[in-house]
Amino acid sequence: RVGLRKHSSISRVLLGGIFNKGFSTQTGSKLEGKVALITGAASGIGKATATKFINNGAKVIIADVQQELGQETAKELGPNAAFIACDVTKESDVSNAVDFAISKYNQLDIMYNNAGIACQSPASIVDLDLAVFDKVMNINVRGVMAGIKHASRVMIPRRRGSILCTASITGVMGGLSQHTYSVSKSSIVGIVRSLASELCHHGIRINCISPFAIPTPLVTDELTRLYQGADSETIIGVVNRLGTLEGAYCEPIDIANAALYLASDDAKYVSGHNLVVDGGFTVFKSLALPAPDKVEK
């Protein structure tokens, strides 16, 4: 399935070009005058979305626990990007990041709760490591709740805003990852539904995006540990061959495009939604019928 087009794109990934090419030159004005705060935006999906938002007229605050990388990313994205150190497990950090947006730009229009981690965890529930479970839920779920809480604090008085969260197809379907990560991501879908019921009364929309597998550090670091000795091109090839949609694979730009839609007025009547970006992977399973001469009694 990895054809020539895919190989050339894999090389782009390895050169770091995937986070710049393909979308940095595509500009628009869908977010003109808007201010966005994106957690976990030093890298991967968050960085691609920050780039997309800036190219559509937004000012973006990159909030991430990785300080050096976050600062580099903000510098790379130019004057409309700013970095603030933020560990989403610390409510005060999340609160400060929101207050930073207000003090710097006087408003917060878009809050994208995207920071998350993967984990290695035994396959069986009987071997579940509850310390790992707590750590993952602390970042992937509690961190998202903190983001929604503090974004709502400043959005409710303005009676407008768009809140986004990154869920995952592993939260849509069972069996796509170990339980801990899967449970953390299915929680996001529930959080969005629950919060939509309150925030709609204040004119605030909340939605999540469920991406398919993308070879960002979150995934490649885990697979590098699993396939010890495999080079990064091999690892990226493994991830990109997981999909079912012929001729394409899931990239950070696909999630950035979904985020732009949900954050902008294009989605002005969309709330409580889980936008699955998976090339159709979770909606079907092909039945491999045996050939007529191979049917067993």
Using CB under 6 A as the binding criterion, the count of chain residues that bind ligand NAD stands at: 29
Q: Which of 164, 195 has the CB closer to ligand NAD?
A: 164
Q: Is 279 in the site for ligand NAD (CB under 6 A)?
A: no
Encoded one letter per residue, x for contact with ligand NAD by CB under 6 A and - for no contact, window 72-91 reads --------------xxxx--
Q: How far is the CB of 288 from ligand NAD (least distance, A)?
A: 26
| DSSP-H helix ranges across the chain | 4-14, 44-54, 67-77, 91-105, 130-137, 143-155, 179-199, 217-226, 232-240, 252-263
Q: Name 110's bridge partners.
A: 36, 162
> Can you tell me the distance from the alpha carbon of 91 to that of 97, in angstroms, rounded to the nearest whole number?
10
Which residue number, 66 or 80, has a Cβ lying nearer to ligand NAD?
66
Handedness of CA 32, 264, 149, 213 (dihedral sign): negative
Under the binding rule (CB under 6 A), the answer on residue 237 touching ligand NAD is no
261 is known as an active-site residue:
no
Farthest CA pair distance, the chain:
74
Judged by beta carbon, residue 24 or residue 89, the one nearer ligand NAD is 89
Asked if 275 interacts with ligand NAD (CB under 6 A), we say no
Inter-residue contact 132 to 121 (CB < 8 Å): yes
Site string for ligand NAD, 209-228 (x = CB under 6 A): --x-xx-xxxx---------
Q: Identify which of residues 69 and 156 has a Cβ nearer to ligand NAD in the complex.
A: 69
- Selected from 20, 24, 66, 96, the binder of ligand NAD by CB under 6 A is 66
Q: Comparing C-alpha atoms, which of 223, 215, 292 is closest to residue 254? A: 215
Cα(261)–Cα(273) distance, integer angstroms: 12
Closer Cβ to ligand NAD, 138 or 156, answer by number: 138
Residue with tokens 């995952």: 168
User: Could you tell me the smallest distance in angstroms from the CB atom of residue 161 to ligand NAD?
Assistant: 20
Q: Which of 181, 227, 249, 261 is catalytic?
A: 181
Contact between 77 and 99 under an 8 Å Cβ cutoff? The reply is no
Min dist. Cβ of residue 52 to ligand NAD (A): 13
Within 103-132, which residues bind ligand NAD (CB under 6 A)?
A: 114-117
23 closest CA partner among 42, 1, 45: 45
Residues 43 and 216: beta-carbon distance below 8 Å: yes
DSSP code at position 117: -
Which parts of 21-50 interact with ligand NAD (CB under 6 A)?
39-40, 42-46
Q: Is 236 in the site for ligand NAD (CB under 6 A)?
A: no
Q: Which residues are catalytic?
A: 181
User: Which residues are near ligand NAD by CB under 6 A?
Assistant: 39-40, 42-46, 64-66, 86-89, 114-117, 139, 143, 166, 168, 211, 213-214, 216-219
